[in-house]
Amino acid sequence: MSPAAAGPLAGRVALVSGARAASAGPSPRASPAPGRRWRWPRRSREELERVAAGIAAAGGRALAVRCDVARDADPPRAVAETVAQLGRLDVLVNNAGRRLPRAARGAHLEQWDGAFAVNLRGVFLMTRAALPELRRAGGGHVVNIASVAGSWQPDCRRTTPPSSGSWASRKRSCSSYATTASR
């Protein structure tokens, strides 16, 4: 397959957090063209191996690394392992996310803090760890997966149910961080 046919990610290395969540949306499995290499940090080694095997079966290359994006030491280690095994890092996709098991008003403080740790702190830690390698690779790209629930739209009361209030606030924070971090 020619580089043009393989798309803009041909020959690039992408690190994607939240491997299990990626099964619900666009992912390397959707188009694992030859030349694309993917790194999927996730806390469960078994989940990662299943995702990597599916990508390999479709002709792509994927490596699995265990990573809790909310832990200070894990994102730098995931980035370092990616570069050590694949030689570079061109794209970071902050896809990891956690929902509260109930509406925010009924959530325990530990659940609230845990959700923000993954959905916002994790984005910060992964981005901070990846930026030096992205710059070394010639610029790179950071993609933060957010949600329309976090947008500032006039009719958000109709589009965001009360049970999703904490989700919306975390995703709006993620979008705001992306805007300021890109400057």
- Which ranges of 22-152 would DSSP assign to H, the alpha helix? 45-57, 74-86, 109-116, 122-136
Cβ atoms of 158 and 109 within 8 Å: the answer is no
- Confidence class for position 84, pLDDT limits 50, 70, 90: very high
Looking at residue 89, its pLDDT comes to: 94
Looking at residue 63, its pLDDT comes to: 83
pLDDT tens profile 108-147: 788 888 888 888 899 999 999 999 999 999 888 998 887 6
pLDDT tens profile 20-46: 544 433 344 444 444 545 554 545 677
Instruction: Report whether pLDDT(73) > 80.
Output: yes
| Over residues 143-152, mean pLDDT | 70
Collect all residues with Cβ–Cβ distance below 8 Å to 28 and sequence separation of at least 6: 14, 16, 22, 36, 38, 55, 60, 62
Predicted model pTM: 0.76
- Domains, the chain, in order of start with CATH, read 3-181 (3.40.50.720)
